[in-house]
Amino acid sequence: MAIDFTLTPPQRELQLESRRFAAEVLAGARAAELLPTAEERFLATRPVYEAMVVAGFLRKCIPHSAGGENAGLIDMAIMAEEFYSVNASVSLTMFGTVLGLLPILLGGTPEQCGRLLAPFLGKSGTPLAGFCSSEPGGSANAASPSPGEGVRTSAKLHGDRWVINGRKKWVSSATGWDRKGADILCVVCRTAPDAPSDKAISVIAVERPASGIVFERAIESVGHRAHLLPQFGFENVSAPRHNLLGEEGGGLALTAASFTGTAALVGIFGVALMRAAFDFALHFARTERRGGVHPIIEHQAVGYALADAKTTIEAARYLSWRACHAVDTQSPAADELAIQAKIYGSETAVRVITDLMFVVGVDSYDHEAPLGRLLQDALALPIFDGGNIGVRRRQLHTLLKRPDYEPLLASGAA
């Protein structure tokens, strides 16, 4: 068996193209984070997001089979690292839109894919999509049977249309640029109120314009300050019956499948933030004397801290790449590796950035330095996309309990 982490020529070209775009365009959107309200900050990023679309990066996230230019999750990881290390907010707007399209890509019919994905395949405009899973009060127990509530948003058939009622929260860009909704919302909802949870939940695509989307507030998040995370409601929102994605009652399985690939990408988000923090701390250590004779990198404590950080970054990157490869090749170990990448990459990002703040010292507490902002962004990684405690470790625990679990499967040595 050959193990090779060398990027192919097209992947290397994608990496350099993404790096240039991040430096020349994405970096300029950072000023948006200084505006006073969450919506103002989000709206200020619209020209930069449009530039991403015009440059074809959204198309590069949609598979060839659906009319896009994406060859796999490793390509997504390459883009994600370059973009997220420079501007997490705008990057999350694009990758959140991709997440919003995943139920269509994974569960949609050819007709649904052709119709619903069309606005996202061009190189113009600012199309947004959202995966409406999380609800106020939390969704870690979405499959909970009675007396647990599970998914509380409901959809009922009236003739040939679904009528959706309920509330959602933490869904990237869901209320759009104007509070009236993203171009596509894939809504996780209860379609059979009395059925067991594995047959009660479905995913329905809501197309813009759709009346009845009620904006409640834009969350003032700790990090990702220029990314929109709304709380909102569905009040008799209507969608055609043929916008049901996958099988009726198959929503939990479709949701789980959608979040498998994203777990590996969250690991890469952690790598990106650690990389940006390391670059700053390394430059600081090489140039700052702090009143002494030598640059502080000459001190063993500083050098060892930098060495530990760099080692962790490399480990997290290669675990995430391995997970992405497993998803791309539909390996039986894909679920385990993706969850491990998510947990490890997200939690080590918080720890490593904090350790690098110790290296820089009190100047890291100044927002003129990037470390505080990077830490604020990193704090979201262990708790979104399926929280590491409420969801991801539980998923690993479930895998470990299976009678047929093979510990060496993830290493390819089973």
Give the active site residues: 385
Cβ(168)–Cβ(153) below 8 Å: yes
| End-to-end CA, the chain | 13
- CA gap 250, 197 in Å, rounded: 9
CA within 13 Å, CB half, 107: 28
- CA gap 364, 197 in Å, rounded: 48
| Residue found by looking up tokens 């933030």 in the block | 273
Name beta bridge partners: 239. 162
Cβ(130)–Cβ(186) below 8 Å: yes
Cβ(349)–Cβ(273) below 8 Å: yes
Radius of gyration in angstroms for the set of CA atoms belonging to the chain, rounded to a whole number: 22
Cβ(259)–Cβ(385) below 8 Å: yes
Q: What are the residues whose beta carbons fall under 8 Å from the beta carbon of 200, sequence distance 6 or more? A: 150, 151, 190, 191, 192, 193, 194, 249
Q: How far is CA 90 from CA 53, 129, 215, 292, in A?
A: 12, 14, 21, 40
- CA gap 222, 42 in Å, rounded: 14
H-run or E-run covering 259: helix 251-287
At CA 227, angle to CA 221 and CA 232, rounded to 5?
Answer: 75
- CA gap 196, 148 in Å, rounded: 12
DSSP characters over 98-155: HHHHHHHHHH--HHHHHHHSHHHHSSSS---EEEE---TT--TTTTPPTTS-----EE
